[in-house]
């Protein structure tokens, strides 16, 4: 026989407890900090939509991807009394936000130029009314909803508390490793774009011999990109999934409703991979071979040795 338990405290928590004596599966149904995060997300979505209408630039949500999770992380930490575990998670998310903000800024993300993906989608949705509906529902509302969801597991750490133990420190090192991985992917992509933009004569003999083929192919396919077409996505997903697992284990169950956050993020990256790669395949003739031989997100050895003109390896 099962028993449904509702408890109060830091918001409202509901759990399904099996009478056989097993540990209860805890499902936070409406914690107050999460409700605040939802209200904040709704307000930010409305602001992004209005700014997009005024500027014809739909990248305003993109500029919040590195900011909103940091706000949520510290909101949860504050509601939990800045406990050791919640504060550690907030610091990790802050480091993640600094990395993403810096990478986005150096690529011109704050210059007022719309992301090329939205421009491409706008051309595929010729009706202005349908485009604004897509902007409101997906670009603004759905994305901020996903951001709110994949940040939600941090509320579990705040609600449960707990001391900073050696085991927790070891667990917290895992998202830090994923953060280092995606930072390296950012560096490799940035340096490749620099080589691609530079005239061949200015690269020097040594650099030219190693990078000309890759630059001429038009896309990065060496280093981490030799093992995965989107290594930054792997680091990103690893970071948020590991934070979820750390939070869920502390709640007493690996099956927690906040898994919907990293699941939704995974779905977005899968969709983004398909869309951006369709654009790359149209633009670069060698991309089809690269896609056929290289893992999409999870790093793995190439199926076959690629030509030097494609991989630069």
The pLDDT of residue 223: 96
Mean of all residue pLDDT scores within the chain: 84
Q: Please state, in angstroms and rounded to a whole number, the distance separating the CA atoms of residues 157 and 153.
A: 7
pLDDT surpassing 70 at residue 68: yes
Question: Tokens standing for 80?
Answer: 């939990």
Q: Is residue 301 part of a domain?
A: yes
For the ranges 140-149, 224-233, 249-258, the lowest mean pLDDT is seen at: 249-258
Residues 209 and 118 in one domain: no
End position of a domain, from candidates 133, 149, 164:
164
- What average pLDDT does range 22-44 have in this prediction? 70
Site of tokens 């940035």: 190
pLDDT of 199 reads 63
Strand partners, 14: 6, 27
**Does residue 277 fall inside a structural domain?**
yes
What pTM does this model have? 0.82
87 and 25 assigned to the same domain? no
Check residue 206 and give its pLDDT.
Answer: 45
> Has residue 81 been placed in a domain?
yes
- pLDDT of 215 reads 83
Under the banding of pLDDT at 50, 70 and 90, the label for residue 212 is low
Q: Are residues 193 and 277 in the same domain?
A: yes
DSSP 115: P
Is residue 46 over pLDDT 50? yes
Q: How confident is the model at residue 246 (pLDDT cuts 50, 70, 90)?
A: very high
Instruction: For residues 148 and 80, state if they share a domain.
Output: yes
pLDDT tens digit string along 262-312?
999 999 999 999 999 999 999 999 999 999 999 999 999 998 654 544 443
Please, what sign has the CA dihedral across residues 144, 147, 150, 154? Answer: negative
Compare 211 and 51 and report the one with higher pLDDT: 51
Question: In terms of pLDDT, which residue wins out, 188 or 22?
Answer: 188
* 189 and 306 both lie in a single domain: yes
pLDDT at residue 7 in the model: 32
pLDDT of residue 312: 39
Same domain assignment for residues 89 and 56: yes
One domain, residues 262 and 179: yes
Task: Give me the mean pLDDT over the 74-87 stretch.
Answer: 93
Per-residue pLDDT tens over the stretch 152-182: 999 998 988 888 899 999 999 999 999 999 9
Task: Let me know if residue 109 belongs to a domain.
Answer: no
Q: What percent of the chain has pLDDT above 70?
A: 82
In total, how many domains does the chain have? 3
List helix spans (H) across 135-283.
Answer: 143-151, 154-160, 166-197, 205-217, 231-251, 260-283
Q: Looking at the structure, do residues 240 and 195 belong to the same domain, yes or no? A: yes
Tokens of 196: 């691609």
223 burial (CB, 10 Å; 0-12 / 13-18 / 19+) is middle
Enclosing domain of residue 136: 32-100+114-164
Verify that 192 and 236 share a domain, yes or no. yes
Domain check: are 90 and 10 in the same one? no
Query: Tokens 């792997």 belong to which residue?
Result: 234
Is 107 a member of any domain? no
Residue 211 is predicted with a pLDDT of 53
Contacts for 171-177 with beta carbons within 8 Å, 24 or more apart?
Answer: 171/242, 171/246, 171/249, 172/88, 172/89, 172/92, 172/246, 174/238, 174/242, 174/246, 175/92, 175/96, 175/238, 175/239, 175/240, 175/242, 175/243, 175/246, 176/92, 176/95, 177/238
- Quote the Cα angle for 148-12-259, to 5°: 40
240 domain-assigned: yes
pLDDT at position 202 = 53
């Amino acid at each position: 026989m099962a028993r449904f338990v509702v408890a109060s405290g830091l918001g409202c928590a509901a759990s399904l407890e099996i009478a056989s004596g097993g540990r209860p599966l805890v499902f936070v149904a409406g914690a107050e900090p999460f409700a605040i995060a939802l209200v904040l997300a709704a307000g930010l979505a409305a602001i992004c939509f209005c700014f997009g209408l005024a500027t014809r630039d739909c990248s305003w949500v993109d500029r919040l991807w590195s900011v909103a999770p940091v706000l949520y992380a510290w909101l949860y930490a504050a509601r939990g009394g800045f406990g050791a575990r919640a504060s550690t998670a907030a610091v990790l998310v802050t480091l993640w936000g600094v990395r993403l903000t810096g990478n986005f800024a150096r690529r011109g993300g704050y210059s007022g130029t719309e992301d090329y993906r939205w421009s491409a989608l706008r051309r595929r949705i010729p009706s202005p009314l349908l485009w604004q509906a897509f902007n409101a529902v997906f670009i603004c509302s759905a994305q901020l909803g996903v951001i709110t969801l994949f940040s939600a597991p941090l509320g579990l750490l705040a609600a449960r508390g707990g001391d900073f133990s050696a085991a927790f420190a070891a667990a917290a090192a895992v998202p830090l490793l994923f953060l280092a991985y995606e930072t390296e992917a950012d560096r490799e992509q940035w340096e490749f774009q620099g080589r691609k933009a530079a005239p061949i004569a200015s690269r020097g003999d040594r650099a030219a011999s190693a990078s000309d083929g890759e630059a001429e192919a038009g896309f990065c396919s060496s280093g981490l990109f030799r093992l995965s077409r989107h290594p930054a996505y792997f680091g990103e997903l690893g970071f948020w999934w590991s934070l979820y697992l750390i939070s869920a284990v502390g709640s007493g169950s690996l099956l927690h409703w906040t898994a919907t956050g990293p699941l939704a993020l995974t779905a977005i990256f899968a969709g983004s991979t398909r869309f951006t790669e369709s654009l790359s395949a149209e633009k670069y003739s060698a991309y089809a071979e690269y896609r056929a031989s290289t893992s999409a997100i999870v790093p793995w050895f190439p199926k076959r040795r690629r030509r030097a003109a494609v991989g630069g390896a």
